[in-house]
Amino acid sequence: FAASAALVVLLAPTAARGEEPPPDFQPPETSITAGPDRVAVSRLARFELVATEPATFECSLDGAPYAACPARIAYSGLAVGRHALEARATDAAGNVDATPARYAWEIVRPEPPAPFRLSGDTVSRWAPVLKRAIVRAKPSLGSRRISRLALRTPERTQNLVLVLERLEDARGRLWIRVRIPVLPNNRTGWVLRGAIGGYTAVPTRLIVERKRFTITLFKYGKAVFRSRIGVGKPSWPTPRGEFYIRVKLASFDDPFYGPIAFGTSAKSSVLTDWPAGGHIGIHGTNLPELLPGRVSHGCIRMRNEDILRLARMLPIGTPLTIR
């Protein structure tokens, strides 16, 4: 009996070491510890997953079937709108988290970049054209072409444009919105910054009142010159709108234009068969007795003594409003 008891004592530890551990029926718990902002503009979303014990993961994006995924996962090219990621862990025993972790967020369209204004009510800016360039409807290389900048004006002087706004696109390209001398009048478009030179600021603005037959020059918002003028006849009207002074000319052989003339960006919508398409000018006259009135083919006529005074105060690039 003593020997048998001793045998039992010696065998008991061996049996304990051979016992199998109890079955594991406890599933892991899953957490999403990193994700995008709840409201984001990026189409890329990165996530980090953890579990309460060693495990593998499965993920479901926006209700798609679950598929194996790593603990660090990224989704790219996502659409604008609401999205949700669900993740569940599976432990070594095959237990699956029955309550997957969920992360919801929304991708919104980024706010369009705000243009920076270059020309205002009292001070405007112009720039010379350095390269022949395409003018586009929007600040994008894929946008519709609306015109092309020329290096020279119809008078064979260096071309210039009134610059209105500046905008940097998503790729860092700098675009400038410019006023362009084309029909229909009052058009603006966008060119790449490299097509034009440095800016020159002008504190002047010229306003023509067709019904009152007046022209007024403002400097820093204050009227500094005013005179009576002649404008286009009803059959050849002076166009209305927003324009600018492109060129200053003198020493004409023909006294019809007076001593000085200014070329503008305005064009006649009637005299399209004229050289260079019928650009509107501001010039003197050898028939001062006709002024004021509707006397021209669209140009603005001034008495010679008046335009000489104006010429001392009016720089090129000055914005011109014709009402």
- What is the CATH superfamily name and number for domain 116-201? SH3 Domains (2.30.30.40)
Q: Which one of the listed residues 59, 69, 83, 299 is annotated catalytic?
A: 299
69 is catalytic: no
Distance CA(245)–CA(260), nearest Å, equals 13
What CATH code would you report for 202-322?
A: 2.40.440.10
101 closest CA partner among 24, 25, 33:
33
Count CA atoms closer than 13 A to 59's CA, side-chain side: 19
Under the banding of pLDDT at 50, 70 and 90, the label for residue 273 is: low
Under the banding of pLDDT at 50, 70 and 90, the label for residue 10 is: very low
What pLDDT does 6 receive? 41
**Average pLDDT rounded to a whole number, residues 15-30:** 79
The 3 state secondary structure assigned to the chain is: CHHHHHHHHHHHHHHHHCCCCCCCCCCCCEEEEECCCCEECCCCEEEEEEECCCEEEEEEECCCCCEEECCEEEECCCCCEEEEEEEEEEECCCCECCCCEEEEEEECCCCCCCCEECCCCCCEEEEEECCCEEEECCCCCCCCEEEEECCECCCCCECEEEEEEEEECCCCCEEEEEECCCCCCCCEEEEEHHHECCCEEECEEEEEECCCCEEEEEECCEEEEEEECEEECCCCCCCCEEEEEEEEEECCCCHHHCCEEEEEEEECCCCCCCHHHCEEEEECCCCHHHCCEEEECCCEECCHHHHHHHHCCCCCCCEEEEC
Q: Kindly tell me the burial class for residue 39, based on how many C-beta atoms sit within 10 Å of its own C-beta (0-12, 13-18, 19 or more).
A: exposed
The answer to whether residues 216 and 226 touch, using CB atoms and an 8 Å cutoff, is: yes
Distance CA(17)–CA(172), nearest Å, equals 70
What pLDDT does 23 receive? 85
Judged against a pLDDT cut of 80, whether residue 284 lies above it is answered with yes
Q: Which distant-in-sequence residues (6+ apart) come within 8 Å of 25 by Cβ?
A: 93, 95
Under the banding of pLDDT at 50, 70 and 90, the label for residue 256 is: confident
- State the CB neighbour count (10 A cutoff) for residue 211: 7
The answer to whether residues 100 and 84 touch, using CB atoms and an 8 Å cutoff, is: no
Strand partners, 126: 162, 200
119-128, 197-206, 227-236, 249-258 — which is least confidently predicted? 249-258
Judge whether 27-107 and 116-201 match in fold: no
Q: What is the mean pLDDT of the chain?
A: 90
Judged against a pLDDT cut of 50, whether residue 1 lies above it is answered with no
The amino acid that residue 137 corresponds to is A
Structural domain boundaries in the chain: 27-107, 116-201, 202-322
Q: Does domain 27-107 have CATH number 2.60.40.10?
A: yes
299 is catalytic: yes
Strand partners, 147: 135
Q: Which one of the listed residues 69, 83, 279, 283 is annotated catalytic?
A: 283
What pLDDT does 62 receive? 97
